Structures are given as C-alpha cells and as structure tokens.
Structure 1
Amino acid sequence: MQLSEAFQWIEALPLVRMIVSVPGLYPAISALHILGIALLVGCIATVDLRLLGIFSAKLDEALPGLVRVALVGFAVAATTGLLLVSVRIANYASNPAFLTKMAILLIAGTNALVLRLGAGSADVRHGLGTSHGRLAAGLSLALWTSAVFSGRWIAFM
C-alpha cells in the first residue's frame, strides 16, 4: 500500500467521516484539543519554572501532581490531535508547520524522559537544584512554546 492510499484509507474510516459530517463535532474535538494543550503546557510550565528556581519551594509537594495532570493533558491533546489530523491527513503530511510541530513534540518528549533518567527517578523533584534539571526545564519551556506556535501556523501554511 502506498502512502497516498494509506491516507485515503484513513480519511475514509467511519469515525473520520463522522467527524466531518456531524455538525459541531470537529469544533468540539478542536476545543478539547486546546484544553488538553492548556493542561499540558500550563502544568509543565509551572514545573519547569520551579526547576529553574523561579517559583519557591512551597510548590515542591505539588510537582508530582502537576506532572500527572500534564500527562492527562498530553493524552487528551494527542488523542484529539490524531482525530483532527485524520480528517485531512494527506494535507497535514505535507504541511511544514505540522511536520515541525511533530518533530518538536518528539524532542520535547525525549527531553522529559532524559530529565527523568538523568535524575535517576520518575519524581521530577530529584531535578531540583541540579544543572541537569535547570537545563531540561529551560529546554522544555522553549520546546513546548515552539510546539504551540508551530501548531498555530498549521492553518496558515
């Protein structure tokens, strides 16, 4: 199966056709996508700012919970994003802003894993006060911000 045939197959799936044909469904999925992004980026930015030492230690106990909420936000954003892309996957596959966003998301996820592995723990608090934690946090802020900007540019390319 060629790539173009795979894209046509995805766009013809009953769920994808329903997203296109049911009034209000696509905008509702889009709104959920934005809410997922808000949860993800809002929580991760808070964690990153604490790792950078900008927020006080009073926040430390909340960090693991913020990471869990960010993961929920990521799950919502990723699921809804897949649904949104499936409607016109062939167009997205050739959109430079979309491809940039996907690359940034891959790097951001890798950065999060490296932070956890470098700290020797899944608990982000182990990165507090370390140069590794500060570097990962600064990179994380730049990457998630870039992903949001790239996502907004998708519609304009």
Structure 2
Amino acid sequence: MAFLVWLEQTALATWVGESLYGYPFLLSMHVTGLALIVGISSVINLSLLGVLPVTARDVQGSLLRLAWAGFAINALSGIALFTSQATYFVTSAAFLSKLLCIICGIMTVAIIQSRCRSNRSIGRVLPAFGLLCWLAAIAAGRLIAYL
C-alpha cells in the first residue's frame, strides 16, 4: 500500500488530479484507445460470427495493428489515470472486474489473430466471448464512479 500512496503523490498523479487539462486530456486519450481496440476487435468478432459480410482475414492486417495501437494508448492513459486514485482503485470491485475483462478481451484478440494467421478454425465461442469481455469491461469501467 505504501507504493500506491507514493504513486498518488507523484507529479503525474498531481497533474492528473489537480490540473485543468490533465484529467480531461487523459480521459479523451483513454476513450480514443478504447474505441480503437474495442471497435476493431468487435468488427472482427462480428465477422467471425457471420453478422458482418466481411471476413476476419480481410480486416486482419493494418486494422489489427491499429487495434493494438489503440490498446497501447488505452493502457498508457489508463495507468496515468490510475495514479491519481491508486489506493481507491485497488479496492474497487468494479475496477478489478474491468481489469479482468480487459485481460480476457486482449487474450481473445491475440488468440483470434494467431488462429487467423495460421488458418486454424476459430468457431463461434471465442468471438462471442470476446464481445462479452469488451462489453463487460466498458460496463465495469462506467460503474467505477458509482460503486
């Protein structure tokens, strides 16, 4: 817990929590990263489920690189946002649930990417699970402010 208290006292945490532009800027970056990773992975998952007329292999190349860039933006901005209330977030069930859902969502993206590259079957369970993970992560993220 001492590390988390120290983290909350860093210049970054102070900038996020007290400056006029820190929190809004980082939150905007967080939402942008979220839109990229969740949006692109949702298109891939929906195409694998047969909902969209495009095949997952059609969107694998540059779009998936963009999705991973979105995840990097999301992770970096999320870490910066975390610093401002680290001691609260580690005790928040909603925050911990969000992290678990993100880990599961990222794992499904990585598995689907690997299977598409090797032309192995993916089935329907994995893309459906991926969609569920992202929806749950977004819902849990919104609940952090209220629980």
Output the TM-score relative to the length of structure 2.
0.89
Distance 2:110 2:34 in 1: 19
Query: Which structure's residues are more often helix, by fraction?
Result: 1
Where structure 1 has 5 or more consecutive residues not aligned to the other structure, the ranges are: none
2:58 aligned with 1:28:
no
Match of 1:51 in 2: 48
RMSD after superposition: 2.0
Identity, % of aligned pairs? Answer: 25
The structure that has the greater radius of gyration is 1
The question of whether the paired residues in 2 share the 8 Å contact of 1:47 and 1:67 is answered with no
What residue in structure 1 maps to residue 75 of structure 2?
Answer: 78
Query: How many equivalent pairs are there?
Result: 147
- The equivalent residue for 1:64 is 61
Equivalent residue, structure 2, for 1:19: 16
Partner Cα distance (1:138, 1:47) in 2: 11
2:126 matches 1:136: yes
Show the counterpart of 2:139: 149
Distance in 1, matches of 2:63 and 2:49, equals 16
Contact 1:44 1:66 in 2 (8 A): no
Q: TM-score when scaled to structure 1?
A: 0.84
**Unpaired segments ≥5 residues, structure 2:** none
